Amino acid sequence: MREKIRLLFVLVIFLTACSEKIEQEDSYDPAHDYFSFANTDQFVTEHLALNLRVDFEAEELRGSATLAMRKLDESAEQIVLDTRDLAINDVQVLLADGVALAAEYRLGESDPIKGTPLIVSLPAAARSLTNFELKVQYVTSPDSTALQWLPANLTAGGKHPLLFSQSQAIHARSWVPLQDTPSVRITYEATIRTPPELLAVMSANNDPLTSRGGDYQFEMPQPIPSYLLAIAVGNIFFAPLGEQTGVYAEPELLDASVYEFADTQEMLEQAEALFGPYEWGRYDLLVLPPSFPYGGMENPRLSFITPSLLAGDRSLVSVIAHELAHSWSGNLVTNATWRDGWLNEGMTSYLESRLMEVIYDKDRVDEEGVLSYQELLQNFEWVPPKMQALAPRLDAGDPDSFQGTIHYIKGELFLQYLENAFGREAFDEFLFAYFDEFAFKTITTERFLDYLDENLLQTESSAVSRADAEQWLYQPGLPDDAPMPSSTTLNEAEALATIWSKGEIDVADIPIQDWSPQATVHFINSLPADVAGDRLKALDDGLNLSDTRNAEIGRAWFIQVAERRYTPAYEALESYLNRYGRGRLIFPIYLALAGNGADQELALKMFEGARAAYHPLAESRIARALEADEVD
């Protein structure tokens, strides 16, 4: 016995020593942004003035960025900005009296993910200043990771080229030299010159009545993080949706967009009632060509949207609810670093569901909830446990590929769990106060946890402890008492998939015309693995799956087609891969094809045929996956 106690004692000493050692060696700082070179503890940017010419022939933006800076550390003499593939031509320091001083600068060592630091030495005459401006003359590269220069043939109209940006997560630095971290907020203004027949729009005060002419001025008076800087130039026109809302698109897509997104104004009004005042003035949508790599991007005042939402039946507008909701979670209260991305995406997914519930109904929310939940469970199968935390340790890798499903879906479930525990009324009050407290600020997970603890968990009747919340934030998987979405209509669809696959009913007996597209997706996802080819043919013929106009139904169907090698639908599958460029729609189909044991070559061949129309970010992601053989 004594021996045992002694051993235990030695073990405890040993473990304590170990953990102290780990703590000493581990300098990981969860509040630090490991994806920026900027020395934001010494200088911060407060305002940006852009002056750029848009050159479609050279595929370049050319001009200057003037950064109004404030010095935080008196002894600091060097400013480090983020850049990627920018040609820097000149750097000057502008003093308040109008004097311009030449500044010495150099580019530091490049990193494949972070880009290249631009290191500027403050001239001696400017070293004692707290406030000054830095003017950088530069040209972007045709390979800028943020910009897609679409030739006319890849637009709906086919007559004019089109340019759009996608700055999240760390691509703003490839079109503007700046402190490219969400922890710094800036206001901005811009002068943009374009060919006279095209219109420029930005994540700023777009005036729907602006006349064309090739010379455009913008202002964004609310401070935003750099990933929300956005621009698009093309043959685009405006149509109103409501008093404060509207949609920009090429004329060929404008009517369809007005129909599809008709509920936007109501969404905005309901969102204000739920989450607090909308702080951004107008809310418009910009419907882009198919190569836009995301469903939507919450650029403030002007969400960028994929045309794959134009299903003709308004069934995919939860993406609009999502991007609009970012006007609170993300744009108003911003994740401090990409590791805290769940505070943007998980919170927004929760708000999206709340909005969908008031605009449509609870059944629709439950259906989407079940589909998301299933995606999350699939994700847990291959994401390493450490990365299953909502806020994992993150100091390397590519912030574009972190966490996707986990940030969104596990994040939403966490907030749903809190709502269930405290009741909707108390939780709504908490959220309202949260947006008010942190408006126009950035927030880390740890700050959120403290705020949650003080304002909700420590209430008298608290059903949730800090340790419970920490489990969600820092542990893999889901806690045992996590909410589990369920939907009666989806259960029915799932049951019918089994019955039909056993041959007990015919395709004609599947009441697909009464189903939501979400139920159809679930039916397709629920097909058992052993359904024979001729049965799939009957399904395709009877339900017209290969020709569907609904991009989500097509996605579910073609994943099955690829996994089961249902070759009669391969032609339709290929045309789907050519029709859409949104990563979520095409990526899993390529993976399923390349991973089915027989079609790796075919997947590469189809990719070769389609890649010219894809966005560089989607293209490189697919290329990496197919070439790296990460396909099983």
Report the catalytic residues: 323, 408
- Stretch binding ligand BES (CB under 6 A), from 187-195, 318-326, 452-460, 501-509: 318-326
| 43 vs 280, beta carbon nearer ligand BES | 280
595 binds ligand BES (CB under 6 A): no
Give the number of residues in contact with ligand BES, rule: CB under 6 A. 16
Draw the binding track, 564-593, toward ligand BES (x: CB under 6 A; -: no contact). Answer: --------------------x---------
Q: How far is the CB of 348 from Zn ion (least distance, A)?
A: 5
Place of tokens 């690829």: 562
Report the distance separating Cα 609 and Cα 602, nearest Å.
11
Report the distance separating Cα 300 and Cα 332, nearest Å.
9
Quick one: which of 253, 216, 251, 246 has its CA closest to 236?
251
Q: How far is the CB of 322 from Zn ion (least distance, A)?
A: 5
Q: How far is the CB of 171 from ligand BES (least distance, A)?
A: 9
- Stretch binding Zn ion (CB under 5 A), from 55-63, 337-345, 393-401, 484-492: 337-345
371 binds ligand BES (CB under 6 A): no
List, in sequence order, the alpha helices (H) in 165-222: none
616 binds ligand BES (CB under 6 A): no
297 binds ligand BES (CB under 6 A): yes
Q: How far is the CB of 402 from ligand BES (least distance, A)?
A: 8
Tell me the β-bridge partners of 216: 192
Please give the torsion angle defined by the CA atoms of residues 265, 267, 272 and 278, in that order, rounded to the nearest 10 degrees: -60
Q: Is residue 134 within 8 Å of 45, Cβ to Cβ? A: no
410 interacts with, out of ligand BES, Zn ion, none, CB within 5 to 8 A per kind:
none
Q: Which pair of tokens denotes residue 505? A: 């009913």
Place of tokens 């927004």: 348
Q: Is residue 79 within 8 Å of 95, Cβ to Cβ? A: no
- 189: three-class secondary structure by DSSP: strand
Q: How far is the CB of 124 from ligand BES (least distance, A)?
A: 41
Peptide linkage before 628 cis (omega within 30 of 0) = no
Report the distance separating Cα 37 and Cα 56, nearest Å.
30
Quick one: which of 406, 397, 433, 427 has its CA closest to 415?
427
With CB under 6 A as the contact rule, the residue among 326, 339, 564, 621 that binds ligand BES is 326
Report the distance separating Cα 159 and Cα 188, nearest Å.
32
295 binds ligand BES (CB under 6 A): yes
SS3 percent helix, strand, coil of the chain, rounded to 5, is 45, 20, 35
With CB under 6 A as the contact rule, the residue among 173, 322, 555, 564 that binds ligand BES is 322
Q: How far is the CB of 65 from ligand BES (least distance, A)?
A: 22
Q: Which of residues 268-287 bind ligand BES (CB under 6 A)?
A: none
323 binds ligand BES (CB under 6 A): yes
301 binds ligand BES (CB under 6 A): no
Draw the binding track, 348-367, toward Zn ion (x: CB under 5 A; -: no contact). Answer: x-------------------
Report the distance separating Cα 61 and Cα 50, nearest Å.
11
DSSP conformation class of 86: -
Q: How far is the CB of 70 from Zn ion (least distance, A)?
A: 30
Q: Which of residues 152-211 bind ligand BES (CB under 6 A)?
A: 168-169
**Phi first, then psi: what are they for 576, rounded to 5°?**
-60, -45
Question: Rule CB under 6 A: which residues touch ligand BES?
Answer: 168-169, 294-298, 318-319, 322-323, 326, 345, 400, 408, 584
Question: Rule CB under 5 A: which residues touch Zn ion?
Answer: 345, 348
